[in-house]
Structure 1
Amino acid sequence: MAKDTHVLERPPEGASPDWTIPQDWNHYTAEEHATWDTLSARQMKLLPGRASNAYLKGLEALRLSESGIPNFEELSERLMKLTGWQVVAVPGLVPDEVFFDHMANRRFVAGNFIRRPDQLDYLQEPDVFHDVFGHVPMLADPVFADYLVAYGKGGQRAMELGALKNLGRLYWYTVEFGLIAEPEGLRIYGSGIVSSFAESKFALDDPSPNRIGFDLKRVMRTEYRIDDFQQNYFVIPSFDELLRVTVETDFAPLYKEIVGQPDIPIAEILPEDVVITRGTQDYANAKA
């Protein structure tokens, strides 16, 4: 797979040592703003009744349904008042140590480029729509905002312990592709789902994937794929519980325990799993 031009090995010219760059909001074209509006409009129609209450409240509080690509300075001002977070622009995917340092200090890194109009439904890497529309509303929720701070600090420790693969699975199955059980039913909150028109429907409605009760060790042992709809979704009971488990767990002995165990294949169901939905794994029909 060819390396994308937005995936960099060192800060480009003009970037700060922490990889941040100016968003340069005034240089977005009318077409780029229109692409944001197209993506936003169809998600805004789809997400009520599907997205978590926290996500929908964040959208409203941060005014992310307004027309055009958000200005990070204005967005950060609103976000800072709610949870102390800010959004900073970066040129692409940044090194792990940079990513975790920003997160541990309540700075969310976001790409400042947007996909082309012919890429509305699939992009190999995160753009400003995924990063801002997908992630940032959840940062307006104080509990989830604290969870990401804890994750950032945990990432710094995981680097020292050689456990990034396992911790990365926690991010994948919560921050990117997490489901939550709310009184009204299952809801989506992961950014990879809420920013995707197709997966916003698939994650809740399709019979193909497994939907399994969240268990920290189970999640960190489970493989995932990046080139298709998810075959597993893990369901948390609440954001409070997700934060509690993350903060109260000593990850060092957990990593040692996991190292001695095999990875769990993507679609496998374990006897001890709390199975909410056992999937058919019938992806051919799902895509038809």
Structure 2
Amino acid sequence: MPAPETILPPHLARYAVSQDYGGYTPRDQAVWRHILRRLTAHLKDRAHPSYLEGLAAAGIGVERIPSLEEMDARLARIGWRAVAVRGFIPPAVFTEMQSLGVLAIAADIRSADHIDYTPAPDIVHESAGHAPILADPRYAEYVKRCGVAGFKAIASREDQAVYEAVRHLSVVKEDPASTPEDERLAQARLAAAQASRTYPSESVRASRLYWWTAEYGLVGSLDDPRIYGAGLLSSLGEASHCLTPAVGKLPLSLDCVDRDFDITSMQPQLYVARDFDHLFEVLDAFEATLSWKRGGLHGLREALRAGTVNHLVLDTGLEITGRVARRVAGIVGLDGPVLVSRAGKAQGEPWMGQALVAFGAGGLPERGPFTLELPGGVGLSGFRTGNFETIDLKGHSPGGALDLPSRALLFLAGKLPSVAGGPADPETWDRHFGVGPPGEAEQLARQRKAASLPPDLAALYAEVRALRDRGEAPPGRLREIRAALAAFPGDWLLAQEVEELLTPAASPGFQPEDP
């Protein structure tokens, strides 16, 4: 597979991992086969027409877990790429990859215990769910645009706590070493993090739009829709349940961004788009609500309550990255570190102090003393030393002296066209302030899951697969294998594979009720 650095910029490439195809156990391969056989049989008349065509186009077969190297090569033909990642990556990383036309595919696969549905990202969901529909050019464009909106949306500090809790729960659910108490505490942690949210941030609302469309969307008429959402296409339970009368069907509208979702259970209602053009109508309406598009006072208020690193785009073309911390007499204060950029490229090194943005007419010298009169009777004075640094900074308003830092970066602008999420130059920011990508817990869980498969049982799985690959089904040997499974009473999956070989005329059907 091409090195991630050839597909992604460095700050994103470090989240990519090796697929480690040899690390999949024979039971992992059986899990894939079980899910894909039943999904394709069930979805052939229920999914959007692009789905089955897209499976082949993306190099996804029924019999074995796909090679992400082959998937990447296939997706490259339609303008997309694929990289392997480990578990839940940060939302800003996922959406930026998506905006670049790169599909982040979780390399792990769900356990047989969670074969119908898992809240954890896995290769079934990402490759068999997301990748096939990208064969439709209009839909692929929508997914990229969703990535841009999600990347530009402002996230709050509270969102980070929820992300960490979701990631922890997904690891616990797939780790064979986890106890029921571990799972209970992980669920409680997620509930507490969600309860601590005081408002739905722009990022939360963007994730809801993505959830109700790209993850759990239906398309067509309300009384006979088709499935296109990846969460539905990759879940045996959801794919069977979603088209029943038990699930409410609502016309897709911008209202979906106000409806929360629960990743741990099946959805009680779903939204139906008329067609893929309808997705763009809703996305356009959503983008118009974002600070990235609105800027001005609205954007400042959103960034201030978020308490996270965002960036202001001034009408001078400068971009100021930092935490919006205060707004006094029309002057905006940002806490450091602060990074100045233009067109997404840093202009020098980060500044570790504060920055001020004043709004008004006039000008500031590059170097030397200045006095500046701003609207509302506000005045500033100080000495500019170069590179926007200002010392001996003082300010006043009709109410008296302003509480300003004596030394800060100072900028003057007429308008604020945009306030967007995250740093304006993510690569430079990450180089200075980035933290190591998550994934250690997911890797340990994968190793423990592989180790939990008894060698004798793994050998039986491998033997049954080899018999199938050779087109052989010796009844005597298969009955011996079935008898040997008495030593593993909880392993229903291999027993089912043996029965399929003993009764080759049997249809795989669709059996979400399998124990």
Q: Deviation digits for residues 73-117 of structure 1, max 9, x if unmatched?
A: 1111111112x1111111110112211111111111111111122
Cα offset, 1:124, TM superposition: 2.9
Residues of 2 paired with 1:208 and 1:39: CA distance?
23
**227, 231, 234: which one aligns with 1:188:** 227
Q: Deviation digits for residues 11-70 of structure 1, max 9, x if unmatched?
A: xxxx97530111122332222222111111111111111111122221232242342111
Q: Deviation digits for residues 176-203 of structure 1, max 9, x if unmatched?
A: 1100006993111111111111221211
What amino acid is the match of 1:20? A
Partner residue in 2 for 1:10: none
What amino acid is the match of 1:110? I
C-alpha change, 1:110 and 1:124, in structure 2 (3 Å) is: same
Partner residue in 1 for 2:18: 22
1:140 and 2:140 equivalent?
A: no
Residues of 2 paired with 1:43 and 1:85: CA distance?
24
Residues of 2 paired with 1:185 and 1:77: CA distance?
35
1:130 and 2:168 equivalent?
A: no
1:225 and 2:262 equivalent?
A: yes
Secondary structure (helix, strand or coil) at the match of 2:153 reads helix
C-alpha change, 1:67 and 1:148, in structure 2 (3 Å) is: same
Alignment TM-score, normalising by the size of structure 2 = 0.44
What amino acid is the match of 2:242? A
Secondary structure (helix, strand or coil) at the match of 1:159 reads coil
What amino acid is the match of 1:252? L
C-alpha change, 1:62 and 1:183, in structure 2 (3 Å) is: farther
Cα offset, 1:244, TM superposition: 4.3
Residues of 1 paired with 2:221 and 2:49: CA distance?
8
1:75 and 2:113 equivalent?
A: no
**237, 240, 260: which one aligns with 2:274:** 237
Partner residue in 1 for 2:101: 106
Structure 1 residue ranges without an equivalent (≥5): 1-14, 260-286
Residues of 2 paired with 1:62 and 1:95: CA distance?
25
**248, 253, 259: which one aligns with 1:210:** 248
Q: Deviation digits for residues 128-168 of structure 1, max 9, x if unmatched?
A: 11111111111221111111111111012112694111111
**148, 152, 176: which one aligns with 2:147:** 152
**42, 48, 66: which one aligns with 1:46:** 42
Residues of 1 paired with 2:35 and 2:103: CA distance?
21
Alignment TM-score, normalising by the size of structure 1 = 0.76
1:198 and 2:240 equivalent?
A: no
Is 2:222–2:249's contact at 8 Å kept on the other side of the alignment?
no
**62, 65, 83: which one aligns with 2:61:** 65
Partner residue in 1 for 2:30: 34
Residues of 1 paired with 2:238 and 2:117: CA distance?
11
Residues of 1 paired with 2:20 and 2:135: CA distance?
24
* Greater share of strand: 2
Task: Report the count of equivalent residues.
Answer: 242
1:177 and 2:216 equivalent?
A: yes
Higher relative contact order (CA 8 A, sep 6+): 1
Quote the sequence identity (%): 32
Is 2:214–2:229's contact at 8 Å kept on the other side of the alignment?
yes
**232, 247, 251: which one aligns with 2:289:** 251
In terms of mean alpha carbon deviation, does 138-147 or 25-34 score higher? 25-34
Secondary structure (helix, strand or coil) at the match of 1:67 reads coil
Residues of 2 paired with 1:44 and 1:234: CA distance?
23
Secondary structure (helix, strand or coil) at the match of 1:88 reads strand
Residues of 2 paired with 1:107 and 1:32: CA distance?
25
C-alpha change, 1:17 and 1:183, in structure 2 (3 Å) is: closer
Cα offset, 1:72, TM superposition: 0.8
Is 1:72–1:87's contact at 8 Å kept on the other side of the alignment?
yes
Is 2:54–2:133's contact at 8 Å kept on the other side of the alignment?
yes
Is 1:143–1:243's contact at 8 Å kept on the other side of the alignment?
no
Residues of 1 paired with 2:66 and 2:24: CA distance?
11
Residues of 2 paired with 1:134 and 1:17: CA distance?
23
Structure 2 residue ranges without an equivalent (≥5): 1-10, 157-200, 303-512
Residues of 2 paired with 1:16 and 1:240: CA distance?
30
What amino acid is the match of 1:154? A
Partner residue in 2 for 1:92: 87
Is 2:213–2:271's contact at 8 Å kept on the other side of the alignment?
yes
Partner residue in 2 for 1:283: none
What amino acid is the match of 2:141? D
Residues of 1 paired with 2:155 and 2:25: CA distance?
43
C-alpha change, 1:117 and 1:141, in structure 2 (3 Å) is: same
C-alpha change, 1:119 and 1:242, in structure 2 (3 Å) is: same
Is 2:252–2:272's contact at 8 Å kept on the other side of the alignment?
yes
Residues of 2 paired with 1:195 and 1:242: CA distance?
21
What amino acid is the match of 1:106? G
